[in-house]
Amino acid sequence: MAEALAIRAPDHLGDATMAIPAMRAIAGITPSTIYGPRSLLALFEAVGVPDLRVRPAAELPGEGTGVLFKPSFHAALSWRHLGRRFGIAENGRGILLTDPLPQVPGEHRREGYARIAAALGAVVPERVRRPGGRGFVGLNPWSPSATVRWPYFGELADLLAGDFPVVFFAGPGEEAPVRAIAGPHPVRAGLPLPELAAVLRDCAVFVSNDSGAAHFADAVDVPVIMVHGSTDPRRTGAGQAVSGGPIWCGPCYRKTCILGLQCLTRIRPPTVADAVRMHLDRLPGAR
C-alpha cells in the first residue's frame, strides 16, 4: 500500500503497548503517522521504537486511509471522512468502517492488532525475547479498576522477601495506596516510562494485576506473572497467568463489579508465591 496512512493508536498504556509491533510493521511498509495521546512518545522511547511519528489524538487527518487500532465507536465516527477505514468491527462500529475485520471470540488483543496489519499487507515479525535480570522481584499492586486489584500483594511480599529482594512499583498518583500495601518493603513511585524501563532491566520477574504496567514490563522483556480474576488471560494476558479459574459471570472488564463479587480473593498468596519461586528456580545460576 503506497499511500500515506493515518493510524489511530489505543489510548491506554497496555493496549498501546500491545499494538506497537503491528503499528511498527505497518509503518515499515507505508509512510504512516500515528495519532494518539502524548504519552505515546515516552512509550515509544522506552521500548526502543523512536522511528514512529506521533500527532496529538485531538487532531484529525485531512484525507487518505485510516487504520483504527483504538476500538471505540467514537474514533471511527470521527474518522468517517477518510476514503478507507480499517479496523475490527466491534462496539457497533462496523458500519463506519469501509474495510471491517470480523471479531474473533477469545482472540488476544495482540492477535487482533496483527490481523489489522495483515489486512494492509504488513507482517508482524515473531518476537525475540532477552532473558530477565536477577536483581529483584517487582510487584505492581495497584490499578484504577477495583475489579483487577488482587488484595494480597503485601502478604506475597512477606512470603518472598526472605528469599529474594522485592520492590513495589507505583504509577503517577498511586504512591499513597501502594505504600500502604507495601508496608516496610521499598517502593519506586512515579517513574517516567524510559526510566522505568531502565530500572526493570534488572527485574527477575514482575508480578502484576491485569494492567498496562504488566504489558509494559513484558514489552521491555521482563518476565511477567499476571494475576487474573474476572479478566481472561487468553485475551489480555501477558507472560504467565495465575487464575482462580473461570467464573460464571466472566470474563468481565468492568471497572467495578455490579454484583459485588470478590473473585480475586479465590487466589491465595502461597499460590502466586509458588509461581514466582518456580520462575526464580529456573534462572541461570539459581541455587
pLDDT per residue as tens digits for the range 142-167: 988 888 899 999 999 999 998 899 99
pLDDT digits (tens, 9 = 90+) for 249-262: 667 776 776 666 77
The residue whose grid cell reads 507505508 is 30
* 165 and 105 in a common domain: no
> What is the mean predicted confidence (pLDDT) over 182-199?
96
256 and 173 share one domain: yes
Tell the residue number behind the cell numbers 495497584, with chain if given: 142
Give the pLDDT of residue 119. 97
**Residue 3 confidence (pLDDT):** 65
Mark whether 271 and 150 lie in a shared domain.
yes
Question: Angle at the Cα of 135 (from 129 to 138), degrees rounded to 5?
Answer: 75
Query: Is pLDDT at 239 greater than 80 in this prediction?
Result: yes
Q: Residues near 29 by Cβ (< 8 Å), separated by ≥ 6? A: 1, 120, 121, 122
pLDDT band of 229, cuts 50, 70, 90: confident
Q: Report the pLDDT averaged over residues 47-66.
A: 92
> What count of residues does the chain have?
287
Beta bridge partners of 220: none
Supply the mean pLDDT for the chain: 91
Average pLDDT over residues 116-130: 90
Q: Is 141 a domain residue?
A: yes
- Choosing from 119, 147, 179, the residue where a domain stops is 119
Q: Is 185 among the domain residues?
A: yes
Q: What is the pLDDT of residue 129?
A: 73
Q: Where are the alpha helices (DSSP H) in the chain?
A: 13-29, 39-47, 73-78, 109-119, 153-161, 175-182, 193-200, 212-219, 233-236, 269-281
Residue 232's pLDDT band (boundaries 50, 70, 90)?
confident
| Domain co-membership, 87 together with 157 | no
Are residues 196 and 89 located together in one domain of the fold? Answer: no
Within this chain, do residues 80 and 186 fall inside the same structural domain, yes or no? no
Last residue of a domain, one of 66, 88, 119: 119
Q: In what order do the strands lie in the sheet with 84-88?
A: 54-56, 32-36, 5-8, 65-68, 84-88, 99-101
Is there a single domain that holds both residue 102 and residue 142?
A: no
The pLDDT value recorded for residue 285 is: 61
pLDDT in tens, 76-114: 999 999 999 999 999 999 999 999 999 998 899 999 999
Find the Cα–Cα–Cα–Cα dihedral 85, 86, 90, 95, rounded to 10°. 40
CATH code (residue 222): 3.40.50.2000
- pLDDT, one tens digit per residue, over 21-50 is 999 999 999 999 999 999 999 999 999 888
Q: Which residues fall within 8 angstroms of residue 240, CB to CB, at 6 or more apart? A: 223, 224, 225, 226, 275, 279
Nearest C-alpha neighbor of 140 from the set 216, 209, 69? 209
199 and 100, same domain (yes or no): no
Check if the beta carbon of residue 88 is closer than 8 Å to that of residue 10. Answer: no
Looking at the fold, whether 88 and 182 belong to one and the same domain comes out as: no
